[in-house]
Amino acid sequence: MADTKEAKREGDGQGSQTSSVLEAGTRAPEFSLRAAPDRSLTLSELRGHPVIVAFYPADWSPVCSDQMALYNEILPEFAEYGAQLVGISVDGAWCHKAFSQSRNLRFDLLADFEPKGAVSHAYGAYRKADGFSERALFVIDANGVIRWSYLSPVGVNPGADGIINALTALTDEQRGQPSAAEATRSSSGSSARNDSSARSSDSSATQSDISAR
């Protein structure tokens, strides 16, 4: 039922498999995952603020470490938008803990561990043949609706500009500057998987939610 979009994978050395990540306009599937050996985090607990969800293949692999280290540095920028970042991979909570400590990470890494990859799969971000998550990004608004998603070639660090653009568009929209949001949207080109009709239909809900806070 969820909107999906086919995206070609490149550069993963495995030919032209395709994957389908959930698109903008889709309600973000709820999840509750271990954020630490003794603590769980539920997506709906984060309502009221934008949430950035970064699926990635594995703790410790070089590209992931770079990407997570980069996001760690960018946390202050994300915080300016009131956004919270979570990383998700199929690694277990103890593995996440060791990885996080070694990289001094200041955001939660969630363990999509049991049933393995179930949340990644729900977001269309699971590589079944490999048994790990895609490198995929989602920006979810304060109401729990996906507003931007991106599937990266698995071997490429996608940076954070797409996330920042999406957060900027959300903020502009909240401030009642649809034209600025529109501009960001159209300039983000084919790489940003936005569904403008879905966006405009739930923007009023977002605005009313924001003003109620």
Partner 1 sequence: MSDGILSPPVSERDHTSGPASAPVTLVEYGDYECPYCGQAYPIVKAAQRKLGKRLRFVFRNFPLSEAHPHARHAAEAAEAAADQGKFWEMHDALFENQNALEDDQLVATARRLGLDAERIAAALEAGTYAQRVREDFRSGVRSGVNGTPTFFINGRRYDGPWADERTFISALENAAKAARVKA
d(CA 1, CA 15) in angstroms, rounded, equals 28
d(CA 127, CA 170) in angstroms, rounded, equals 30
What minimum distance in Å lies between the beta carbon of 201 and partner 1? Answer: 25
- Determine whether 102 is exposed, middle or buried from the number of CB atoms within 10 Å of its CB (0-12, 13-18, 19+): exposed
Q: Which residues bind partner 1 (CB under 8 A)?
A: 66-67, 69-70, 72-74, 77, 103-104, 106, 137, 150, 152, 156-162, 164, 187-189, 191-192
Token pair for 114: 């049991």
What minimum distance in Å lies between the beta carbon of 96 and partner 1? Answer: 17
Compute CA distances 141 → 53, 77, 148, 176, 178, whole Å: 11, 17, 9, 15, 16
Q: For residues 183 and 210, which CB has a smaller minimum distance to partner 1 in the complex?
A: 183
Exactly one of 22, 24, 64, 170 is catalytic; which is it?
64
Q: For residues 104 and 179, which CB has a smaller minimum distance to partner 1 in the complex?
A: 104
DSSP SS3 for 130 = coil
Q: For residues 187 and 204, which CB has a smaller minimum distance to partner 1 in the complex?
A: 187
DSSP string for 29-65: PP-EEEEETTEEEEGGGGTTS-EEEEE-S-TT-HHHH
Compute CA distances 162 → 7, 88, 123, 133, whole Å: 16, 18, 18, 19
Which amino acid belongs to residue 93? A
Q: For residues 115 and 189, which CB has a smaller minimum distance to partner 1 in the complex?
A: 189
* 95 labelled catalytic: no
Catalytic residues: 64
